[in-house]
């Protein structure tokens, strides 16, 4: 059975991805900070989804997490770097703490986890899928630290794809536009909008006339992890209803 480790699995895209991988037959290590929410995700497939409570903030916890996965389950096939945070601020309004925290969660942690995972993924010809953003490919209003971190994540993806292609490891990014998850509620609040008001405004900007569902992003991640995607590496795959077209 293939082993997939998914960060930020207690909500939104991570929750949907953990369930999609479990339904596809993977053993899923669902990593997050909130034990109750992780248990709720694991209840979807208790024999397939293992809740793993961790606050991912430094190199040691990331290395320990990968070591734990391989020690307990014997191998690692897929790493999904999904955990992420956003603050809707301009550079002037971004505090040192917000900048550092955004870089830590969105860029440093994927680097730490990837570094620890590569020796194991080499053995399984495994996959890394980074959840970046359409704002890792273009700028967005009042999201300076977020855009910088996701742009960095896209190019970390491409650089790693070069380095590990000959070893059979693929490294890809998915770049969603607005996805209906708790993150959008925070974004609305940061901008002084009600959740409903924000959803209507953002929806109007999407050519398909609706926002992306977390399950649709999960399906893209599942494809990138699958055997038929072996020739796909170094890509930053957009899913945004045509928003960036």
Q: Does 20 bind ligand NAD (CB under 6 A)?
A: no
Residue selected from 89, 114, 133, 157 as contacting ligand NAD according to rule CB under 6 A: 133
Q: Which residues from 101-120 bind ligand NAD, rule CB under 6 A?
A: 105
Give residues with Cβ within 8 angstroms of 181, minimum separation 6.
11, 12, 13, 214
What separation in angstroms does the CA of 173 have from each of 60, 137, 165, 185, 200? 24, 11, 15, 24, 27
Residue selected from 24, 40, 45, 85 as contacting ligand NAD according to rule CB under 6 A: 85
Residue selected from 52, 76, 83, 116 as contacting ligand NAD according to rule CB under 6 A: 83
> Given the rule CB under 6 A, which of 6-14, 41-49, 120-128, 156-164 is the region that contacts ligand NAD?
6-14
Q: What SS3 string covers the chain?
A: CCEEEEECCCCHHHHHHHHHHHHCCCEEEEEECCHHHHHHHHCCCCCCEEEEECCCCCHHHHHHHHHHHHHHHCCCCEEEECCCCCCCCCCCCCCHHHHHHHHHHHHHHHHHHHHHHHHHHHHHCCEEEEECCHHHCCCCCCCHHHHHHHHHHHHHHHHHHHHHHHHCCEEEEEEECCECCHHHHHHHHHCCCCHHHHHHHHHCCCCCCCCECHHHHHHHHHHHHCHHHCCCCCCEEEECCCCCC
Based on CB atoms, which residue is closest to ligand NAD, 169 or 174?
A: 174
Marked catalytic residue, from 73, 112, 146, 223: 146
146 in catalytic set: yes
Q: Does 77 bind ligand NAD (CB under 6 A)?
A: no
Residue selected from 10, 157, 170, 172 as contacting ligand NAD according to rule CB under 6 A: 10
Residue selected from 110, 126, 151, 176 as contacting ligand NAD according to rule CB under 6 A: 176
> Given the rule CB under 6 A, which of 39-47, 92-100, 172-180, 193-201 is the region that contacts ligand NAD?
172-180
Q: Does 57 bind ligand NAD (CB under 6 A)?
A: yes
Q: Which residues from 178-207 bind ligand NAD, rule CB under 6 A?
A: 178-179, 181-184
Number of chain residues interacting with ligand NAD (CB under 6 A): 26
Q: Does 145 bind ligand NAD (CB under 6 A)?
A: no
- In the complex, the residues that contact ligand NAD under the rule CB under 6 A are 7-8, 10-14, 32-33, 55-57, 82-85, 105, 131, 133, 176, 178-179, 181-184
Residues belonging to the active site = 146
């Amino acid at each position: 059975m293939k082993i997939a480790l998914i960060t930020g699995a207690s909500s939104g895209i991570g929750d949907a991805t953990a369930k999609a991988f479990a339904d596809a037959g993977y053993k899923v290590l669902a990593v997050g900070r909130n034990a109750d929410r992780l248990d709720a995700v694991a209840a979807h497939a208790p024999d397939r989804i293992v809740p793993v409570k961790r606050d991912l903030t430094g190199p040691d916890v990331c290395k320990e997490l990968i070591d734990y996965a391989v020690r307990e389950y014997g191998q690692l096939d897929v790493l999904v770097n999904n955990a992420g945070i956003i603050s809707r601020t301009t550079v002037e309004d971004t505090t040192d703490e917000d900048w550092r925290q955004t870089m830590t969660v969105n860029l440093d942690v994927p680097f730490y986890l990837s570094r620890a995972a590569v020796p194991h993924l080499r053995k399984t010809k495994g996959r890394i899928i980074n959840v970046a953003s359409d704002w890792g490919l273009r700028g967005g209003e009042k999201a300076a630290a977020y855009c910088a971190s996701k742009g960095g994540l896209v190019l970390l993806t491409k650089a790693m794809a070069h380095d590990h292609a000959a070893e059979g490891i693929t490294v890809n990014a998915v770049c969603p536009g607005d996805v209906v998850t708790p993150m959008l509620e925070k974004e609305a609040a940061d901008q002084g909008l009600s959740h409903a008001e924000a959803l209507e405004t953002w929806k109007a900007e999407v050519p398909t006339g609706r926002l992306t569902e977390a399950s649709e992003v999960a399906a893209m991640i599942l494809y990138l992890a699958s055997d038929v995607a072996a020739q796909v590496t170094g890509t930053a795959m957009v899913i945004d209803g045509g928003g960036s077209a």
